[in-house]
């Protein structure tokens, strides 16, 4: 049995399952429960799958002599004084080497992480205590060796994105706080860029069109849309917001409600979406930090 088939079989049991599949939109991870499977066997399978995943991902990493359809772009730097409209000037950093992801992750003094995406044309500051990884960068491979990744649910989230297209799936951020991993579910945020479209926020028509596809395209969880609205940040950035709910049955047989918040805005090169998926019990705990994160969005001048 070849490595690809081994990975495929292992992922059926271990990888997080898509919560909601909408073309061009991020998907949410979901736990796969197997109460009768021995825990030691699961850990052994996860370890093997991680090893194979790392090997295959390393082989897929671009080398200095490789070529691709899109030229490498220098990592972005941003001016420290954005315009009153919330935009800023995107400049090439001559002292920074080219990044395959065309983005940077920079740890801040307050523990947060600044994600600057030159391809999408914006920057955002992620909350502290979240593990942020890009598929085509070294931190994705390194994440499997972190202490946090000893948790099977964190491993599931990491493995669930290994086959995504990094030009569209820009970032995965996982809440690694132990208290926030409940009922075998790890909260995450997924950042997806759709360069083929822009969303109109002059009305909620585009949001309604997206919302109508959510339930129809559900793979495992059938999310029910609970609200659709357009909001404006303090800096003047407009966001389209869709909230939805679902549930799953935990290994103990309890019904666990899920909460999902999808946010859409237009960057320099298309529609950007950020999807937060968590258990409903953590909604009031996590939403303030999520909404505060949106206030840090700065869009590059076109």
Q: Please, is 122 exposed, middle or buried when counting C-beta atoms within 10 Å of its C-beta (0-12, 13-18, 19+)?
A: buried
Residue 71 has pLDDT above 80, yes or no: no
CA distance 155 to 67: 31
Show me where the domains of the chain are located: 3-58+75-300
Confidence of residue 217 (pLDDT cuts 50, 70, 90): low
pLDDT for residue 17: 39
pLDDT for residue 220: 62
Convert the pLDDT of each residue in 267-288 to its tens digit: 989 999 999 999 999 999 999 9
pTM above 0.75, yes or no: no
Convert the pLDDT of each residue in 180-212 to its tens digit: 999 999 999 999 999 999 999 999 999 999 999
Residue 148 has pLDDT above 50, yes or no: yes
Give the DSSP H/E element, type plus range, for residue 6: helix 3-14
Question: What number does CATH give the domain 3-58+75-300?
Answer: 3.40.1000.10
Backbone angles phi, psi at 43, to 5 degrees: -65, -40
CA distance 206 to 183: 34
Report in angstroms the alpha-carbon separations of 199 from 36, 193, 215, 267.
46, 12, 20, 10
Lookup: tokens for 224: 């029910």
How does the average pLDDT of the chain come out, rounded?
A: 76
Give the DSSP H/E element, type plus range, for residue 11: helix 3-14
Residue 64 has pLDDT above 60, yes or no: no
């Amino acid at each position: 049995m070849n490595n690809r088939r081994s990975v495929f079989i292992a992922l059926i049991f271990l990888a997080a399952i898509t919560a909601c599949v909408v073309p061009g939109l991020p998907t949410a991870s979901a736990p796969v429960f197997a109460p009768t499977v021995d825990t030691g066997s699961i850990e052994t399978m996860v370890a093997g799958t991680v090893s194979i995943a790392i090997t295959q991902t390393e082989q897929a990493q671009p080398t200095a002599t490789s070529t691709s359809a899109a030229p490498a772009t220098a990592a972005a730097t941003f001016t420290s004084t954005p315009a009153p409209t919330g935009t800023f000037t995107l400049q090439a950093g001559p002292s920074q080497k080219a990044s395959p992801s065309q983005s940077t992750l920079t740890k801040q003094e307050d523990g947060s992480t600044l994600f600057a995406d030159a391809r999408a044309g914006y920057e955002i500051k992620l909350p502290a205590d979240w593990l942020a990884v890009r598929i085509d960068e070294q931190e994705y491979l390194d994440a499997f060796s972190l202490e946090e990744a000893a948790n099977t649910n964190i491993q599931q989230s990491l493995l669930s994105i290994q086959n995504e297209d990094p030009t569209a799936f820009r970032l995965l951020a996982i809440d690694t706080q132990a208290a926030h991993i409940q009922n075998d579910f790890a909260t995450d945020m997924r950042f997806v860029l759709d360069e083929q479209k822009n969303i109109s926020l002059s009305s909620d028509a585009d949001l309604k069109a997206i919302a109508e596809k959510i339930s129809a395209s559900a793979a495992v969880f059938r999310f029910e849309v609970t609200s659709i609205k357009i909001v404006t940040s303090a800096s003047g950035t407009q966001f389209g917001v869709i909230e939805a709910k679902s549930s799953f049955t935990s290994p103990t047989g309890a019904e666990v409600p899920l909460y999902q918040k999808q946010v859409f805005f237009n960057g320099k090169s298309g529609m950007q979406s950020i999807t937060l998926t968590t258990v409903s019990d953590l909604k009031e705990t996590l939403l303030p930090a999520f909404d505060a994160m949106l206030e840090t969005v700065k869009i590059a001048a076109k």
